[in-house]
Amino acid sequence: MPVVEGAEAGSVVQQRKPEGVRNLGVPLATVQETEVFVQGGGAQQAFKFGQGGTPVGAGPRLGAFLKNLRPGDIFPGADRIGPPEGKPAVARAYTGDRMVGYVYLTTDIVNTRGYSSKPIDIVVGLSLDGQIVGAKLVEHHEPIVLIGIPEAKVQAFIDGYIGKNYVQEPPRPGAPPPVDIISGATVTLMVVGDSLTRSVLSVARHYGIGREGQAQAATAEHRVVDMAQESTESWDALLKSGAVGHLRLSVADVNKAFEATGRQGAIDHPEPGAPEDTFIDLYAALVSVPSIGRSLLGDPQLLLVDEPTAHLDGDTAAQVTEALLQLARGRTLIVATHDPALAARMHRVVRLDETGAQMEAA
């Protein structure tokens, strides 16, 4: 039974290993992703613990996976990898006494979830000039890979990113992945590609990797949500300021994008319709920002929010959480989330397990 710091005397602790856990870094018999429920004084809270006893989503887990990898497996030519350090967490790779790059875990950098709504953990080796020199899938919970598509095919897709340098050659918006998507695992592999790309750029920005990384580190604008801003704005003002984003694509725009990919299969199957016809006319806004939410939604007494922190890095997720709580003051807020940090901020939690049973915390 795990010990939970901060649990009150007399607390009841329950431990459960969920179905469908697959860990590729250690034998399955030693793997536990544990849900721990701490109950005391009539209250119940849920925590998730992953490999090595580290809370899932609550801190760096790189060290637990490095224990099961040889340096050369993830960073060819390296003979040792130092301990995890810094924020975001990285480990330095060495050849002899010479530092040659960094190693990190994608889910320590970006909060991207797979089709299962659980993390897909990939350990990445990144050279000092920003090149991906190694990438290894170490843990996942994707049902299609557990029961259908061989893991070797997913690893082959990941291998297609090795050799890419997104610091010196940033990916073009909307560009296809460097490897063809596997039919039947589209969502999973799109998440994998997004995790690799965004995590590389984030690590480069924070640690000044490569010329582009150094430039980004020197000039990056630090933006935060203004929690005190509660004034409302008109629709036109929101559009002008960029608080509401607008995307309109015509059929011609879509077909030009097909041509730009250079992939004959896409070029040979253009979107039908007149070139000037609208393909999509989309408006989007982050309504969890108090002033934007009130401007667009008015002053509702009930807020229903679905996965507001999904696919966000830890710092941004924390900002969105604070903004959402600010917006919900004096109102009823109902949130559907897999984020334990967000769930911990709620006054009451209703959890659905794999069987559909409800476990309620008040």
Mean pLDDT check: name the lowest of 21-25, 95-99, 156-160, 183-187. 21-25
For 125, phi then psi, to 5°, come to: -105, 130
Q: Comparing 9 with 316, which gets the higher pLDDT?
A: 316
Angle, CA of 91, 98 and 65, to the nearest 5°: 25
Contacts of 298 by beta carbon, 8 Å cutoff, 6+ apart? none
Contacts of 196 by beta carbon, 8 Å cutoff, 6+ apart? 106, 122, 124, 132, 135, 158, 161
Mean pLDDT check: name the lowest of 77-81, 187-191, 343-347. 187-191
Torsion angle of the four alpha carbons 18, 197, 103, 154, in this order, in degrees rounded to the nearest 10: 50
**Mean local confidence (pLDDT), 202-221:** 65
CB 53 within 8 A of CB 171: no
Give the tokens for residue 48: 């998730």
Mean model confidence pLDDT for the chain: 76
In this structure, which CATH number among 3.40.50, 3.90.640, 3.30.450, 3.10.350 belongs to the domain 235-361?
A: 3.40.50
Give the tokens for residue 332: 């009823």
Q: In this structure, what DSSP letter does residue 340 have? A: H
**Widest Cα–Cα separation across the chain:** 70
Residue 19: CB atoms within 10 Å: 10
Q: Comparing 99 with 298, which gets the higher pLDDT?
A: 99
What are the boundaries of each domain within the chain? 12-53, 62-219, 235-361
Q: Does residue 196 register a pLDDT over 90? A: yes
Sign for the pseudo-dihedral over CA of 325, 328, 330, 335 = negative
Write the pLDDT tens digit of every residue in 10-19: 333 333 444 4
Q: Does residue 46 register a pLDDT over 50? A: no
